[in-house]
Amino acid sequence: MTDSVKPRVRAAADKRRRLTAAAARVLHEQGVERTTLADIARAADVPVGNVYYYFKTKDDLVLAALAEHGAHLDRLTGGLERLPDPRDRLKGLVEAWVGQRETAARYGCPTGTLAAELDKRADGTLDAEAGAVMRRLLEWAAGQFRALGLADPDGLALTLVSAYQGMSLLANALREPDVMAREGARLLRWLDSLQTPAGQAAEAGPEPRSATRAESAAGDAAG
């Protein structure tokens, strides 16, 4: 690749990144039906005619937004993996959710609200993609419960994520961020109450320099 081509390639990649991030944000705030390509182009500061170069349809942008939500989940859980104790990872996840309570009260859970809206469509393709992001979260949470040696880790993960969806929905419906704070505190107490089997040690590993829940959860919570 010549030096003259590299800046154009970087500029194109930057435009695509901006459009993808804008799609995730605007679709969360406005919903799929109310959002136009022009809305996303404006939020990304990209000429609307350029949008079609990267995304042929609004469905393509919805898929890109779901990929952005998945990438955010990976960044968040990747940061939490720095914590040596699986229980602290789970508690860090809850704290990250609570940290987004103002956004949740205004717009709901980014992936959950999108999944609910897409489920009403006839084709069933995009709602499956939204479900895949949810499934990744469930699988990660189940892995933490499994590492603690707890029985029924999949069921515990479902309880945790269901509680998050419920408190997000209620905070949004009532426009009360404090719902997230109160229910988040309840989830933290529940996690503390789960008894690790006698003799079952949490995953061993060196104590990382930055291994605090606050640092790990806050690093990517707003990404």
pLDDT tops 60 at residue 118: yes
Q: Which residues contact 91 (CB under 8 A, 6 or more apart)?
A: 188, 191, 192, 213
**Amino acid letter, 28:** H
Can you give the pTM of this predicted structure?
0.84
> Which SS3 state, helix, strand or coil, does residue 177 take?
coil
Q: How far apart are CA 136 and CA 30, in angstroms?
A: 25
Model confidence pLDDT, tens digit, residues 70-93: 999 999 999 999 999 999 999 999
Backbone angles phi, psi at 82, to 5 degrees: -70, -20
Which of 165, 145, 134 is closest to 89 using CA atoms?
145
Output the pLDDT for position 125: 72
Q: How far apart are CA 111 and CA 101, in angstroms?
A: 15
Q: Pick the residue with more confidence: 169 or 119?
A: 169
pLDDT tops 80 at residue 130: yes
Q: What is the mean pLDDT of the chain?
A: 88
Q: Of 90-104, 122-136, 164-178, which gets the smallest average pLDDT?
A: 122-136
Q: Which DSSP helix (H) or strand (E) runs through 183?
A: helix 178-193
